[in-house]
Amino acid sequence: MEVVTFGESMVLFSGDQSLPLEYVHQFHKQMAGAESNVAIGLAKLGHSVGWFSKLGQDAFGRYIMQSVRGQGVDTSRCIFTDAAPTAVFFKERQSGGRTQVYYYRNQSAASLMKPEDLDESYLAQAKILHVTGITPALSQSCLELIGHAMDLAKRNHLRIVFDPNIRWKLWNRPDTKQILLELASKADYILPGLDEGEFLTGQTEPEGIAEELLKLGAKAVIVKLGKEGAYYQSLTEKGSVPSYPVQEIDPVGAGDGFAAGFISGLLRQEELAMAVSRANAVGAIVVGVNGDTEGLPSDEELTLMMSGQVN
């Protein structure tokens, strides 16, 4: 396996109309979850990737498993439990194209994940570990699992990609910042959005954010700037990479597309600027399609986008 990632995936019900959810009668059923989005993105680009989670022993758990496996991701380390259900969440479409999510994931099956659920030899043979700041917000045992996985990855010389993915609806502890900074300090590549970078460092500009986060020991920091593209900085280089033009349909999942594109660039041993450009391109393609994973491109589509033949 080139990449291993893990986290909570949920069944997503998207309201069919742009109305407050109490007035919506029909919903579309899809699947979502930051880490499985990244895994599917990488599989679609032709990489070998494993994703694991703890799923409820229920129809939604089976649906998630089928959906992720059906895209070519290795799900052999997933665990089913009857101790808790698979989580669901709802997406409300609001006026002006904005979206709002409502989680029903408290005490879910995935929140029961713990360090012993990690197949250590499975992780140790990979090249890259991808993790997000969603997992440590799920429960104390999930926080312990992510720390354990990052330590093990470090000992085995994997490169670690960390997306802070701060979900305020999930965090209810006073040491949120400290926890995320501690995880970031174990990472080789940190991929914050501007707001996340500001929360973590107190800096408001991409350069200031990157400089502060680099002090934690990362090889590079890439600050995602949406329509403005991305800013990258390592110990030896820095620069900005513009975004690709796209008509925005659904921004959720863009960050995960970005991570998949970036990791693909790392696996192809691209220069940092090129990997960031690849990341921007995948993110842009995802934004133009409804759903978190439906827009994730094949290698061919990505090449077309990067050569300017599609937008």
Alpha-carbon distance of 86 to 304, in angstroms, equals 37
Nearer residue to Mg ion within complex by CB, 15 or 255: 255
Task: List the one residue from 41, 61, 133, 255 that touches ligand CKP (CB under 6 A).
Answer: 255
Q: Does 64 bind ligand CKP (CB under 6 A)?
A: no
For residues 251-280, which are near Mg ion according to CB under 5 A?
Answer: 255
Residue number of the CB atom closest to Mg ion: 255
Contact status: 165 vs Mg ion (CB under 5 A): yes
176 is a site residue for Mg ion (CB under 5 A): no
Contacts of 244 (CB under 8 A, 6+ apart): 280, 281, 284, 285, 305, 306, 311
Could you say whether residue 56 binds Mg ion (CB under 5 A)?
Answer: no
Q: Binding ligand CKP by CB under 6 A: which of 117, 196, 250, 292?
A: 292
Contact between 85 and ligand CKP by CB under 6 A: the answer reads no
Q: How far is CA 89 from the centre of its chain?
A: 16
Q: What are phi and psi of 50, to 5 degrees?
A: -115, 140
Minimum distance from CB of 300 to Mg ion (Å)?
Answer: 26
| Residue with smaller CB distance to Mg ion, 113 or 260 | 260
- The secondary structure of 131-193 as a DSSP string is EETTHHHH-HHHHHHHHHHHHHHHHTT-EEEEE----TTT--STTHHHHHHHHHTT-SEE--B
Q: Which range in 63-71, 211-219, 226-234, 249-257 contacts ligand CKP by CB under 6 A? A: 249-257
Shortest CB 138 distance to ligand CKP, Å:
9
Smallest distance, ligand CKP to C-beta of residue 101, A:
6
Q: Does 192 bind ligand CKP (CB under 6 A)?
A: no
165 binds ligand CKP (CB under 6 A): yes
User: Under DSSP, is residue 207 helix (H, G, I), strand (E, B) or coil?
Assistant: helix
The one catalytic residue in 117, 163, 256, 292 is 256
Name the binder of 306 from Mg ion, ligand CKP, none, CB < 5-8 A by kind.
Answer: none
Q: State which of positions 21-40 bind ligand CKP (CB under 6 A).
A: 32-34, 37
256 is catalytic: yes
Instruction: Name the nearest CA neighbour of 66 among 129, 104, 106, 9.
Output: 9
Are 86 and 27 in contact by the 8 Å Cβ rule? The answer is no
Which SS3 state, helix, strand or coil, does residue 247 take? Answer: coil
Contacts (Cβ under 8 Å, ≥6 apart) of 32? 9, 10, 12, 89, 252, 253, 291, 292, 293
Least distance from C-beta 118 to Mg ion, angstroms? 23
Q: Is 177 in the site for ligand CKP (CB under 6 A)?
A: no
For the chain, where are the E strands, in sequence order?
Answer: 3-6, 10-15, 27-32, 49-52, 54-56, 79-81, 88-93, 99-104, 128-132, 159-163, 189-190, 220-224, 230-234, 238-241
User: Closest approach of Cβ 156 to ligand CKP, in Å?
Assistant: 26
Residue numbers at the binding site for ligand CKP (CB under 6 A): 10, 32-34, 37, 134, 165, 167, 252-256, 292
Residue numbers at the binding site for Mg ion (CB under 5 A): 165, 255
Residues tagged active-site: 256
